[in-house]
């Protein structure tokens, strides 16, 4: 039996470090389960975006490549950035429902589950980024000092996705419809975002102003733009892009936290 004098050092002091340890455990659980019993394991996280890039490059190269330099690199950055958002929100959305057996038994901070999915998506993003580096090497694109802005971009994206994940996870508890609806929204959002096309084409083809406005304000357009600026174009992102990234992150996390805090005490009755 443990001696009681040491009793309290056995427990984590402070909720912050307790939650930190729980998050690490949950994310590593996700990681282990995702790659268990697959031969290539984590290599898939690198291969997936590469294969996608190759397929899309072949298909779209005759349509769009004329004005985009290093089109495959353009594609893969857009793809993995968008995938980060769609993975984290898709999984975050069902995270509370899937954690029901846990939530019914142990007192645990509920926001950990949507955040866990965002962090897990971030881990996957890190591996996908290895693919980006490989493509850069292939096209002889040398990284510049602009890479130091990458953590800033990722931080904003993590905050944005966490807000969205909190909102969706709470909504899905009360209305399971959200789960079906979100699939449609993600697909539509993907087409609305210049992942494989160039936003300049809209201007060139005289698209109406509201279409331009929607595309321009689209948060994912701005995060992808930020990412492409520092990795592909190797410039400092415009003030407008950074400002929109920050605003979207702040607005989304505020809405997410507000809705989650308002509703979380009722979750247990619905899961």
Partner 1 sequence: MSEQIATNEQEYAIEVKDVTMVFNMASAKLNSLKEYFIALARRELFFKEFKALKNVSFNVPKGSVVGLVGTNGSGKSTMLKIIAGVLEPTEGECVVRGNIAPLIELGAGFDIELTARENIYLNGALLGYTKTFIDEHIDDIIDFAELHDFMDMPLKNYSSGMVARIAFAIATVTEPDILIVDETLSVGDVFFQEKCMNRIRSFIDTGKVTVLFVSHDINQVENLCQTAVWIEKGVKRMEGPVAEVCEAYRNQ
Range in contact with partner 1 (rule: CB under 8 A) among 77-85, 101-109, 140-148, 202-210: 101-109
Q: Between 100 and 190, whose beta carbon lies closer to partner 1?
A: 100
Nearer to partner 1, 21 or 139 (CB): 21
Q: Is 2 in the site for partner 1 (CB under 8 A)?
A: yes
Indicate the residue among 32 and 206 with the shorter CB distance to partner 1: 32
d(CA 167, CA 152): 23
- Distance CA(222)–CA(211), nearest Å, equals 15
CB 85 within 8 A of CB 227: no
Q: Is 191 in the site for partner 1 (CB under 8 A)?
A: no
Decide: is 16 part of the binding site for partner 1 (CB under 8 A): no
Query: In the set 1, 142, 148, 184, which binds partner 1 (CB under 8 A)?
Result: 1
Complete DSSP assignment for 106-153: S---TTHHHHHHHHHHHHHHHHHHHHHHHHHHHTT----GGGGGHHHH
CA distance 74 to 66: 13
Kindly write out the interface string for residues 30-49 of this chain, putting x where it contacts partner 1 by CB under 8 A and - elsewhere. Answer: --xx--x-------------
Q: What are the angstrom distances between the C-alpha of 126 and each of 38, 112, 200?
A: 19, 21, 29
Supply 201's token pair: 């084409």
We find the least distance from the C-beta atom of residue 173 to partner 1, in angstroms, to be: 10
| Residue choice 133, 155, 177, 235 for contact with partner 1 (CB under 8 A) | 177
Residues that bind partner 1 (CB under 8 A): 1-2, 4, 7, 9-12, 18, 21-22, 24-26, 29, 32-33, 36, 101-108, 175-177, 265, 268-270
């Amino acid at each position: 039996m443990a001696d009681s004098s040491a009793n309290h050092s056995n427990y984590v002091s402070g909720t912050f470090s307790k939650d930190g340890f729980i998050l690490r455990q949950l994310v590593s659980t996700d990681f282990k389960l995702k790659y268990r019993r697959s031969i290539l394991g984590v290599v898939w996280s690198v291969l997936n975006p590469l294969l996608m890039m190759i397929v899309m490059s072949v298909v779209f190269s005759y349509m769009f490549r004329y004005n985009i330099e290093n089109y495959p690199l353009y594609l893969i950055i857009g793809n993995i950035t968008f995938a980060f958002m769609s993975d984290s929100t898709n999984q975050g959305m069902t995270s509370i429902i899937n954690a029901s057996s846990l939530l019914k038994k142990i007192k645990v901070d509920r926001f950990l589950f949507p955040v866990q999915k965002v962090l897990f998506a971030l881990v996957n993003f890190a591996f996908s980024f290895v693919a980006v580096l490989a493509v850069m090497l292939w096209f002889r694109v040398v990284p510049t000092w602009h890479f130091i802005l990458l953590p800033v971009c990722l931080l904003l994206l993590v905050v944005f996705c966490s807000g969205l994940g909190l909102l969706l996870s709470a909504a899905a508890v009360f209305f399971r419809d959200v789960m079906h609806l979100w699939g449609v929204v993600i697909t539509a959002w993907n087409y609305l975002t210049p992942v494989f096309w160039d936003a300049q084409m809209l201007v060139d083809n005289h698209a109406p102003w509201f279409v331009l406005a929607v595309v321009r304000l689209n948060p994912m357009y701005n995060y992808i733009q930020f990412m492409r600026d520092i990795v592909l174009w190797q410039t400092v992102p415009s003030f407008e892009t950074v400002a929109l990234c920050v605003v979207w992150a702040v607005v989304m996390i505020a809405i997410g936290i507000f809705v989650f805090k308002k509703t979380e005490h009722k979750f247990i009755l619905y899961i």
